[in-house]
A = this chain, B = another copy of it.
Amino acid sequence: MKKNYTFQLELKVRDYECDLQGIVNNANYQHYYEHTRHEFLVSQDISFAELHNQGIDLVVARATMAFKTPLHSRDKYLSVLDLRQDGLRYIFDQKIFRLPDMALCNSARFDSVATINGKLGRLPLLDDLVNRVNAEKNNEDNQ
């Protein structure tokens, strides 16, 4: 049974992302995850630049990554994302699967916080987003 994710992006390993051992250098998974979060927010019409101009920034406070199966040069992969909230934290649960066999390569959690003029705060915009995407997700799960 295919799990239902809030957002997913298909990407491909580029040779320059691989290191001496012929596998993707660990730091690049952070790039893949960041790129996926940004693409997700853009897909929801949330503009970092616009928020930044209003004095609002969304920053990663904590990252946890579990490295399972290394990606190799030229592998295709699926980068998936779910979003939830825990107090002032917006939590992105993210995974990277190798294609086409869907082997789990990396499993991660990124805790983000919003700063409004430098102070921690809630973002009604993101609160709405969390509610919306999870309502959609539950609907799909129930069908």
* Residues in chain A within 8 A of chain B (CB atoms): 14-16, 18-22, 25-28, 30-31, 34-35, 38, 42, 48-49, 52, 57, 59-67, 70, 73-74
Contacts and interface: CB of A to CB of B under 8 A. Distances in A.
B26 A19 contact: no
Contacts of A20: 15, 18-20, 22, 73
Nearest to A35: B14
One complex includes copies of this chain to the number of: 4
A48 to B, nearest CB: 8
Contacts of A42: 74
Contacts of A31: 14, 16, 27
Contacts of A61: 66-67
